[in-house]
């Protein structure tokens, strides 16, 4: 291969990696945590019992509560409780805003359940970045595209990729960072390539925003109807109560052939034109395919059933399914989590390597990158950990509790960035890594302090042990890194 | 089973490279032995795919297999790193 080409690829790898590096770091870390989104949801709502759930009963209870408390909403959307998710998450529009409430699968009410975004926060943050629609998603798709560029140019740039496959040398400065970067990038390379490509496919309509409207001559509603076929009826204005929902859910469960129910959407509730659409849950198939059954909400009669069989949509569903990993059993989910951690760490080591390689440590650009690295690489885990600690320590009855939990995260992150900007980087690395370690160690402590009664809902079980053990593992890792920084500074 | 085979495969592949053979075995393997170890490693990697062929749920298992490869090679890299650390600080 010609050296000129390799150098050009190296240049592109370095600069493309730097420009989107911090964004990719955040997206990769949040995506990694959302592998266990339902488990985090369960951990962050310890009032809800975990285990087997009768979905028809849970659905009926949620609908009964919504009929009383959101009767005027144009539609209700419910992510129904299942084996992994202990509560039903209901959404509805109230004026210009959307309201979300976690509902008990037994009573259907949110009473006594702490107000928290739970694992949903990390899932949404992964591709919406807490920005208004569509800016977060646009940034996420650009980042996914750039990740593909960075990965491919990285493969070309590192000529000794196979010779150095098992090599990880410590205490050799820049060489050690390069070893770490290559090892983390190469070990899970198939995962990294897959997750970047499928990430682009997942947000394909934003990646190529003009293709669909051009084919449909600007009729976006027709495009949406073709992509996601559903039975729609205009509101009639005649008030009619909703027919009992449980029989509809039992019919749907029987037709879903063991897949369970994922979502219940009720359009025009309380109106003669009301439609109930029930979607099938996760199966062991890699592909995520639409399987919906619609019922007349007034009579309970089945209106239609849709199973996605179009080849292009099946391919898209397969790639989307690979990205989401919903098919994965527990072992595969841990492997997704591990691979996601390796991607996050590869991005972090790449960013650190950028500064380690530069010879002008006193230039403005170098200082800026160095300080942003500290604020993001050490500040982000600190903020994420404090989000979980806040979940346990904030008073249960606090108004807008979920918003305050999220604010805790962003305030801690902003403080970390500010601290990193003002202090010498060696000191700020050490201080923030120690704080991140302490915050991670505080997660199981806070969990124990706010522990529910033994044997009660949310008591110490697999989910609680898993979250607490992973937090302790991260605490050990950050403490180890802080110790290495101190030793390095002393040397 | 496929994870164990992959772990053995990567151990053989690591021992088949000059640098890691010096690190793991304290002396360099002869070129002939290194070649044999590399062949063994690739063969074991191929064999680690065999349990998937018999599995009706092979597509899902293939995704898991890639994850198992990453975990196996991570363990081998950590082993080499720890041996290197132990050698440099006896």
For the stretch A371-381, pLDDT in tens is 999 999 999 99
Q: How far apart are CA B83 and CA B19, in angstroms?
A: 12
Q: How far is A92 from chain B (nearest CA, A)?
A: 35
B71 lies within 8 A of chain A by CB: yes
CA angle A167, A168, A172 (to 5 degrees): 120
Q: Do B71 and A335 touch (CB under 8 A)?
A: yes
Q: Give the H/E segment covering residue A305.
A: strand A302-307
Contact A170 B77 (CB under 8 A): no
Q: Measured between beta carbons, which residues in chain A are less than 8 angstroms from residue B68? A: 335
Residue B81 has its nearest CB partner, among A168, A187, A339, at A168
Encode pLDDT of A216-268 as tens digits.
Answer: 988 888 888 888 888 889 999 999 999 999 999 999 999 998 889 999 999 99
pLDDT at res. A455: 52
Within 10 angstroms of residue B24's Cβ, the number of other Cβ atoms is 20
CA distance A48 to A195: 32
What residues contact residue A83 under an 8 Å CB cut-off, 6+ apart?
A51, A52, A53
Q: What mean pLDDT, rounded, does chain A reach?
A: 90
Q: What is the pTM of this model?
A: 0.91
Interface contact A286-B71, CB threshold 8 A: no
Task: Match 């302090």 to its residue by tokens.
Answer: A449
Residue A172 burial by Cβ neighbours in a 10 Å radius (0-12, 13-18, 19+): exposed
Answer yes or no: do B64 and A168 touch at CB < 8 A: no
Report whether B12 contacts B37 (CB < 8 A).
yes
Task: Find the range with the poorest average confidence among A119-128, A263-272, A397-406, B81-90.
Answer: B81-90
From the list A163, A190, A284, which residue is nearest B60 (CB)?
A284
Cross-chain CB nearest to A286 (options B60, B68, B74): B60
Band of the pLDDT at A452, cuts 50, 70, 90?
low
Long-range contacts of A446-454 (CB under 8 A, 24+ apart): A446/A388, A446/A389, A446/A392, A446/A393, A447/A43, A447/A392, A449/A392, A449/A393, A450/A46, A450/A392, A450/A393, A452/A46, A452/A47
Q: pLDDT per residue over A314-324, tens digit each?
A: 999 999 999 99
Q: What is the pLDDT of residues B24-64, one digit of tens each?
A: 777 777 888 889 999 999 999 999 998 888 888 888 899 99
B46 contact A CB<8A: no
Look at the block and give the residue holding tokens 């990696």.
A17
Q: Which two tokens stand for residue A241?
A: 């109560």
Task: Identify the pLDDT of residue A456.
Answer: 53
Which residues of A are less than 8 Å from B64 in CB distance? 328, 331-332, 335
What's the gap in Å between the CA of A191 and the closest CA on chain B?
8
* Residue B16's pLDDT band (cuts 50, 70, 90): confident
Residues of chain B positioned with their CB less than 8 A from the CB of A332? 60, 63-64, 67
Q: Which residue, A140, A45, A57, is CA-closest to A87? A: A45
Q: Do A335 and B64 count as a contact with CB atoms less than 8 A apart?
A: yes
Handedness of CA A472, A181, A369, A194 (dihedral sign): negative
Q: What share of chain A is helix, strand, coil (3-state, %, to 5)?
A: 60, 10, 30
If you ran DSSP here, which 8-state letter would residue B57 be given? T
Q: What distances in angstroms separate CA B85 from CA A86, A173, A228, A455, B73, one per listed residue?
A: 46, 15, 56, 46, 18
**Chain-centre distance of CA A436, in angstroms?**
21
* Non-local CB neighbours of A340 within 8 Å, separated by 6+ positions: A28, A31, A32, A35, A191, A195
Look at A284 and B19 and tell me if their CB atoms are within 8 Å: no
Q: Which residue from B19, B74, B81 is facing A187, i.e. has the nearest CB? A: B74
CA-nearest residue of chain A to B23? A167
Which two structure tokens, joined as six digits, stand for A263?
Answer: 């979502």
Q: Which of A127-136, A163-172, A281-290, A337-346 has the lowest mean pLDDT?
A: A163-172
Residue located via tokens 């380690």: A356
Chain B partners within 8 Å of A187 (Cβ): 70, 73-74, 77
The chain A residues in contact with chain B (CB within 8 A) are 163, 165-171, 183, 187-188, 190-191, 284, 286, 322, 327-328, 331-332, 335-336, 338-339, 342
Answer for the pair B70, A335: CB distance below 8 angstroms, yes or no.
yes
3-state secondary structure A351-385: HHHHHHHCCCCCCHHHHHHHHHHHHHHHHHHHHHH
B68 touches chain A (CB under 8 A): yes
pLDDT in tens, A392-415: 999 988 988 999 999 999 999 999
Q: Which pair of structure tokens corresponds to residue A225? A: 């109807």
| Digit-coded pLDDT (tens) for A420-440 | 999 988 899 999 999 999 999
């Amino acid at each position: 291969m010609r050296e000129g080409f390799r150098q050009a690829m190296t240049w592109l790898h370095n600069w493309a990696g730097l420009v989107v590096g911090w964004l990719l770091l955040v997206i990769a870390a949040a995506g990694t945590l959302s592998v266990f989104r339902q488990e985090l949801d369960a951990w962050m709502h310890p009032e809800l019992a975990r285990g087997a759930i009768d979905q028809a009963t849970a659905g009926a209870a949620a609908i009964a509560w919504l009929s009383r408390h959101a009767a005027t909403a144009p539609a209700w959307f419910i992510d129904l409780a299942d084996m992994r998710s202990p509560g039903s998450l209901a959404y509805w529009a109230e004026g210009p805003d959307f309201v979300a409430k976690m509902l008990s699968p037994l009573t259907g009410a949110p009473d006594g359940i702490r107000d928290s975004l739970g694992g949903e926060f990390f899932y949404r943050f992964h591709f919406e970045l807490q920005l208004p629609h569509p800016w977060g998603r646009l940034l996420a798709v650009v980042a996914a595209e750039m990740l593909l560029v960075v990965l491919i140019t990285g493969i070309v740039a590192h000529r000794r990729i196979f010779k150095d496959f098992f090599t990880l040398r410590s205490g050799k400065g820049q060489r050690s960072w390069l070893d770490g970067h290559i090892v983390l990038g190469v070990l899970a390379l198939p995962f990294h390539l897959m997750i970047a490509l499928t990430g682009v496919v997942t947000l394909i309509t934003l990646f190529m925003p003009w293709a669909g409207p051009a084919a449909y001559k600007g009729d976006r509603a027709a495009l949406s109807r073709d992509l996601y076929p559903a039975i729609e009826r205009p509101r009639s204005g005649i008030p009619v109560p909703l027919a009992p929902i449980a029989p509809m859910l039992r019919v749907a469960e029987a037709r879903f052939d063991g897949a369970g129910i994922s979502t219940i959407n009720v359009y025009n509730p309380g109106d003669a034109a009301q439609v109930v659409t029930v979607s099938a849950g996760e199966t062991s198939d890699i592909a995520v395919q639409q399987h919906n059954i619609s019922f007349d909400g007034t009579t309970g009669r089945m209106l239609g059933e849709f199973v996605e069989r179009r080849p292009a949509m099946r391919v898209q569903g397969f790639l989307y399914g690979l990205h989401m990993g919903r098919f994965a059993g527990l072992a595969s989910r841990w492997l997704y989590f591990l691979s996601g951690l390796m991607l996050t760490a590869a991005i972090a080591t790449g960013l650190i390597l950028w500064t380690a390689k530069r010879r002008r440590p006193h230039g403005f650009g170098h200082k800026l990158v160095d300080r942003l690295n500290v604020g993001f690489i050490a500040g982000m885990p600190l903020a994420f950990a404090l989000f979980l600690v806040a979940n346990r320590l904030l008073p249960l009855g606090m108004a807008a509790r979920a918003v305050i939990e999220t604010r805790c995260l962003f305030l801690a992150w902003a403080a970390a960035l500010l601290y990193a900007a003002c202090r010498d980087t060696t000191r700020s690395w050490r201080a923030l890594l120690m704080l991140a370690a302490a915050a991670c160690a505080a997660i199981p402590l806070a969990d124990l302090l706010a522990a529910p009664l033994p044997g009660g809902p949310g008591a110490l079980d697999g989910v609680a042990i898993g979250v607490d053990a992973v937090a302790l593992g991260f605490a050990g890792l950050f403490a180890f890194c802080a110790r290495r920084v101190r030793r390095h500074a002393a040397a | 089973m496929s994870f164990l085979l992959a772990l053995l495969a990567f151990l053989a592949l690591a021992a088949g490279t000059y640098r890691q053979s010096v690190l793991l075995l304290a002396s360099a393997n002869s070129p002939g032995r290194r070649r044999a170890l590399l062949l063994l490693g690739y063969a074991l990697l191929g064999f680690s795919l065999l349990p998937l062929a018999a599995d009706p749920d092979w597509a899902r298992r293939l995704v898991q297999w890639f994850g198992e490869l990453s975990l196996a090679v991570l363990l081998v890299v950590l082993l080499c790193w720890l041996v290197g650390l132990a050698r440099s600080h006896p």
